Amino acid sequence: MFNKYDFIVVGGGIVGLASAYKLQLKFPKKSIAILEKENEVGKHQTGRNSGVMHSGIYYKPGSYKAKNCKNGHQQLVEFAKKTNVKHDVCGKIIVATTSQELPILEDVYRRGVKNETEGICFLNADEITQKEPYIKGIKAIWVPTAGIIDYVGVCNSFVKEITKINLKSKLFPSCEVIGINSLNNGTELKTTKGNFSADQVLFCGGLQSDRIAQKDDLKLDLRIVGFRGDYYELKSEASHKIKNLVYPVPNPKFPFLGVHFTRMVDGSIECGPNAVFTFKREGYQKNSFNLKDTLEALTFKGTWKLFGRHWRKGIDEYKRAFSKHLFVKELQKMMPSLTVEDVQPTRSGVRAQAIDFNGNMVDDFKIEKKNNNIHVINAPSPAATACLAIADEIIDKI
């Protein structure tokens, strides 16, 4: 006996739910089942990222990321206004603290111009201090369109809007897909809450995306490897030291943007994240370990090629992960007055990073189609910001 729906979306993260929402708007009379293995939506990458709405300034012009970030940002702000989700387009600064960083900063600016990032401009040292009195730098970029948002709130609003459009559509929490049977006229799914079938299925598995694709006999040239990011937060007596968002100049060799200061929607100030290899895909503690996850990552040749190429960076990140002093030292490059006593540890997240056989980090979105199924294999940052634009791309494939 199968629970029959017109569409099924597997994964209750922000990309899956944005896609389900856009599907429901396009096909209001079609029923949609959303299957989420956790008891709530947005439990992993969606609810554990920096909460930042990115402007699109960083990304290679013409890339999937660049094209969708700006469009997605605009749609996300409109949706948040319509559904009263907490957000603030507060702007951010990207700060160079050494002369060696200036060429990279200027390259970021040029990318921003090519990507038509609105309102960007350079700031000198005095102008940096006017924006952020405790931040010290020699030059910066002001990015007025960057902001913060409650991404889990966005997810819950997507679910409400979907079920408002069609009462037959439904979210199934605690429902994990354990088997996939692709047929010519549809797909059957075996789950922990019974069997489901649909004409078309969209898989947005995040940290589990490659495993779900393998269940569907999809041949992949990459593997998902987890990188944990730890956050600290400013104590209440030090929270006045940051007004909005402050980022360092990114290392162009890596897709990570470096440890930064973020004013969250609740007013707290977070610092981070770092990026270290994790021995458990959904492990949020420093000692988290899963044998299957570890073996899969460490028996994949691409992982070792990545480690071999960037071992110095990896060691530095691990040192910071276990040393509050070193973590704060990194932040002090932008805020010299910050002390170890100003910060306290808070949450962590794990980023699903796709790595190919040659040890390269797959930096752009990757979406594959098989029969009646669509798999979102890789959706790195700024996927949360771009979720509605990514959804438009996915809907075009249906």
The pLDDT of residue 255: 62
- Quote the CA–CA distance of 372 and 81 in Å, as a whole number: 35
| 354 DSSP β-pair partners | 224
Residue 273: is the preceding peptide bond cis (ω within 30°)? yes
Share of the chain above pLDDT 90, in %: 85
DSSP class of residue 249 equals: P
- How far apart are alpha carbons 175 and 110 in whole angstroms? 46
pLDDT at 63: 84
Strand partners, 228: 276, 350
Residue 353 in this model has a pLDDT that exceeds 80: yes
> What pairing do the DSSP bridges indicate for beta strands 177-183 and 170-172?
unpaired
- What ranges do the domains of the chain cover? 2-47+152-221+363-397, 87-145+227-356
Question: What is the CATH code for 87-145+227-356?
Answer: 3.30.9.10
- Return mean pLDDT, the chain: 94
Task: Calculate mean pLDDT across residues 184-212.
Answer: 96
SS3 118: coil
Q: Is the pTM of this model over 0.85?
A: yes
What is the distance between the alpha carbons of residues 327 and 239, in angstroms, rounded to a whole number?
A: 17
User: Which pLDDT tens digit goes with each residue over 238-259?
Assistant: 999 999 999 999 987 776 678 9
Class of domain 2-47+152-221+363-397: alpha beta
Residue-wise pLDDT tens digits, 68-117: 999 999 999 999 999 999 999 999 999 999 999 999 999 999 999 999 99
Query: Residues 280-299: pLDDT tens digits?
Result: 999 999 999 999 999 999 99
The mean per-residue pLDDT over the stretch 28-37 comes to 98
- Residues 329 and 392: their CA atoms lie apart, in Å, by 42
Whether the pLDDT of residue 236 is over 90: the answer is yes
Q: Tell me the C-alpha distance between 332 and 314, whole Å.
A: 20
Average of per-residue pLDDT across 314-324: 87
Query: Is the fold of 2-47+152-221+363-397 the same as that of 87-145+227-356?
Result: no
pLDDT at 378: 92
The span from the CA of 310 to the CA of 316, in Å, is 10
